[in-house]
Chains A and B, each alone.
Chain A
Amino acid sequence: MKRITTFLTYFSLIFTSNLALAESAPIVVAWESSPRTIDPRYAQDADSQYLENLTHCSIIDFDKNGSTIGDLAKSWTWTTDTKLEVKLHPNAKFSDGTPVTPKDVKSTYDFFKDEKVKDPSPRKGAFTLLKSVEVSGKDKVIFNLTEPDSSFITNLVVGIMPSVKSSGVMIDSPKDIVGCGPFILADINVSELTLTPNPNFTLRSKPVTSKIIIKIVKDETTRFAKLRAGEVDIVQNAISRDSLDNIKKNHPSLKIYKRPGLNTAYLGFNMRDKIVGNAKVRQAISAAINKENIIKYILKDLAIPAEGLLTPNDPFFNKALKKQGHDIKLAKKLLDEAGFKDPDGDGKKPRFELVYKTTTNKTRVTLAKAIAADLRKVGIKVAVQPLEWGRFKADVEAGKVQMWSLKWVGFKDPDIFRYAFATESFPPSGGNRGWYSNPKLDKLMTQGKTQTNQDLRIKTYGEIQEIVSKELPYVFLWHEEVFAVVNKNIKDFELYADGRFASLSKASKEK
């Protein structure tokens, strides 16, 4: 009798918990734009990479703070400066039940080196230093590089595909995509993606929800309307900050999540310009901008002032960096020292005029106007020029700018300094759009890239940050917080610093 009772108790617990899981309503998420591809080898835009993260496993992943963690990789080690050995989890499976093997990893990464591939992948550029991939035993893969690169591990985020399915052309049908991530892409059309739990997912706990529906809602007003109407449950980083106060006051069914993000907004300068090419002018501009006010009134306190390119939580962040506060007197003094005296004291005539280019995004334009107003107080007249994105990007890369604003997002390794400031990174080869060149910095950045000892790297990047904070090739403005507006029925949702939706595998929706 006791055994029967125990059995019935366990049975009912299992049955009801499964019933609860099975009945967990679908979670509906609104994205601003649709993924350009479902093939992880071609996933270069943010939405494709968000999808990749949900449907595929990769060698490494990043936790919610942006720190590197193993995904398919159980562990990894640099056996030499140019040899990275990765040990894989033994029990990982694809969604069709077949095991994930080192051969599959090799096949996925060989794709980027295959000259016969008809349709080149936009991710190929991240693997220019990859010489070859070897299989070692039943559970190890060795990546051989042509030269040392400590940041290489952070590139191993490509979704692993079965070697038998890998082809030389982009796959665009969900039927042909097999991944090892927590979800399967069940369906995709112009306006919607449907994800269902992967029954063979073994790397972590299986998803709790029965389904994720991702709706593509391009208009911000419509996204907000759908949230209010209960047609979507989650909107992340795609609602105007101005709406958040309204949501807090008038919509008790919605909850706002926020956390520090992995991004840095900056003012860029063209070093070839005779005005902003002068370091004292840039230092003066930095001192003249009242970041705290802008963060409070325009960004609604959803940001923290930036002291450098790296966020304060970054393990490589130099905590000894001098804070650059708002100081109008200092700004005026620096401008005088730079040879740009105020012609009429505090009168109407400016010391000089600048053109500040930005995109047509209304928040960016508002921010630009606020910065222009701050600079006017120290005698710099600024004309804000909002440009359509394609035109803006073309002008910045062609050097047809004096000053512009942009944001670095989602960087996971301090090698971003080399991409942003090295002489070798002048456009179109890299992201040094200000054409900044400093031989001492170049040497340090090469050193930092090749050092494998973490403590030495931290020291090297500490020095790099000191030089950058003095020379200010960029004025670092703030690190914006990532935020999401979520239906209160959603449980266990978490924000990731880089804006990914990885926590959807743990989240569920109460009916």
Chain B
Amino acid sequence: MISFILRRLLALVPVGLGVVAIVSLLILTVPGDPADQILGPYATLEEKNELRENMGLNDPIHMQVLNYYKQILSGSLGTSLIYRKPVTALIAERIQPTVELAVVSLIIAILISIPLGLLSAIYAGKAIDYGAMGFALMGVAIPNFWLGPMLVLLFSIELGWLPVSERVSWASYVLPSLTLGTALAAALSRMTRNSMLDNMKEDYVRTAKAKGNTNLVIIGKHVLRNASIPLVTVVGLQFGVLLTGAIITERIFDWPGLGTLILDGINNRDYPLVQGCVLVFSASYLMVNLITDISYAFIDPRIKPQ
């Protein structure tokens, strides 16, 4: 197990650097000059050229990427061109809100989807099943840039129960995590249902029934555990998506997370900021996948990570 973990951690390095190289190539070729953003419209041509030279922007693209690798190896993610602060500091002040939002969204998604998927599987073909799967379909189809404002309109403006935006209290987490978690809940409930139905047909279930176990014991103790393996895969992958893909939700709810930070970086051609955020995103994605793989071994002792 330990060697498995170490191998996966080492794999973070080439994957992370590869992702950074691809993103760097893309952003460095997009039109727009950060020297304009930094020095403003009144700077002379000489001043802009001098700044570009100092920032290494006049170097060939492959050299800029290599220089960035050297910088990472020295422990720095560079300085934001626009905010003039270390990228690590900017990321550090934003990462906690993003992780919090992702965790709460995941919890909400699991709390909704598992019972819904279970009920749907147990009452397959009945009204509960149709209702649950109807919800699943809607949840996947409704885009979060529509859902978010609609939730705000109802709960914040009309009813006045919850704040519109910002991260100020526990109540602030409700609407953004519902917005983010609904699509995930919809997909997870469908997967739970299907996985449960597949496992309920297995021989061990018939055996358990023959032994006189109640439905509650059969489902709770046997079926759910076996059905959860594919769910763990999806939850793991989706958590990575929640961490990295909450840009729209963060924007709607003024969530001070990494999503809005990377958006600012892209709009302002802040190359070090974008590269740093991408590196952090790819590392977090890989870590989540690693944790997912390790968790299999705990759910099913027959599975040994190799």
Contacts and interface: CB of A to CB of B under 8 A. Distances in A.
Interface stretch (B18-26, B78-86, B195-203, B227-235): B78-86
A128 B156 CA distance: 52
A4 interface: no
B30 A391 contact: yes
A500 B178 CA distance: 37
A222 B44 contact: no
B125 interface: no
Contacts of B269: 390
Interface in A118-157: 119-120, 122-126, 128
Contacts of A120: 39, 47, 51
Given A222-B252, A225-B156, A231-B163, A125 B30 contact: no
Contact of A219 (B31, B33, B251, B268): B251
A126 B42 contact: yes
Contacts of A190: 93-94, 256
A280 to B, nearest CB: 31
Nearest to A216: B254
Nearest to B163: A231
A125 B44 contact: yes
A229 B157 contact: yes
A229 B33 contact: no
Contacts of A128: 44
B43 interface: yes
A171 to B, nearest CB: 11
B48 interface: yes
Interface residues of A, number: 39
A195 B49 CA distance: 38
Given A190-B256, A390-B32, A395-B31, A122 B38 contact: yes
Contacts of A429: 44-45
Interface in B85-137: 85, 93-94
Interface string A189-233: 111100000000000000000000001111101100110110100
Nearest to A170: B84
Interface residues of B, number: 42
Contact of B43 (A125, A216, A395): A125
A125 B39 CA distance: 8
Contacts of A217: 165, 254
Given A222-B252, A390-B30, A125 B84 contact: no
A431 B40 CA distance: 11
Given A229-B160, A231-B164, A125 B47 contact: yes
A101 to B, nearest CB: 28
A172 B252 CA distance: 27
Nearest to B83: A36
Contact of A391 (B32, B85, B160): B32
A225 B85 contact: no
13 contacts: A36-B82, A120-B39, A122-B38, A125-B41, A126-B42, A190-B94, A218-B251, A221-B149, A222-B252, A225-B153, A389-B267, A390-B31, A393-B32
A42 B82 CA distance: 11
Contacts of A192: 166
B270 to A, nearest CB: 10
Given A229-B156, A391-B30, A394-B31, A219 B254 contact: yes
Q: Report the 3 A-B pairs with minimum CB-CB distance, sorted nearest first.
A: A390-B32, A125-B42, A394-B31
A428 interface: yes
Contacts of A389: 267
Given A119-B84, A122-B43, A189-B93, 6 more contacts: A123-B40, A124-B39, A222-B149, A391-B32, A393-B32, A428-B45
Contacts of B45: 428-429
A58 to B, nearest CB: 17
B187 interface: no
Contact of B253 (A125, A222, A395): A222
B152 interface: yes
Interface in B27-70: 30-33, 36, 38-45, 47-48, 51
B260 interface: yes
A196 B103 CA distance: 36
B167 interface: yes
A431 B41 contact: yes
A191 B83 CA distance: 15
B263 to A, nearest CB: 9
Contacts of B32: 390-391, 393-394
Interface string A180-193: 00000000011110
A37 B82 CA distance: 9
A324 interface: no
A278 interface: no
Contacts of A215: 166, 254
A192 B172 CA distance: 15
Interface string A386-399: 00011101110000
A75 interface: no
A142 B31 CA distance: 43
A44 interface: yes
A221 B165 contact: no
Contacts of A219: 251-252, 254
Contact of B85 (A172, A222, A229): A172
A394 B252 CA distance: 29
Contacts of A36: 82-83
Nearest to A123: B40
A222 B43 contact: no
Contacts of B254: 191, 215-219, 222
Contacts of A431: 41
Contacts of B82: 36
Contacts of B163: 229, 231
Contacts of B36: 393, 428
Contacts of B47: 120, 124-125
A394 B47 CA distance: 18
B149 A225 contact: yes
B31 A391 contact: yes
Contact of B165 (A119, A226, A228): A226
A372 B47 CA distance: 39
A391 B32 CA distance: 6
A101 B45 CA distance: 35
A190 to B, nearest CB: 4
Nearest to A230: B160
A218 B39 CA distance: 24
A229 B44 contact: no
Contacts of B160: 229
Given A126-B42, A391-B30, A221 B267 contact: no
A44 B268 CA distance: 14
A122 to B, nearest CB: 4
A216 B260 CA distance: 12
Contacts of A394: 31-33
A126 B43 CA distance: 8
A146 B222 CA distance: 87
B71 to A, nearest CB: 18
Interface in B258-298: 260, 267-269
A448 to B, nearest CB: 18
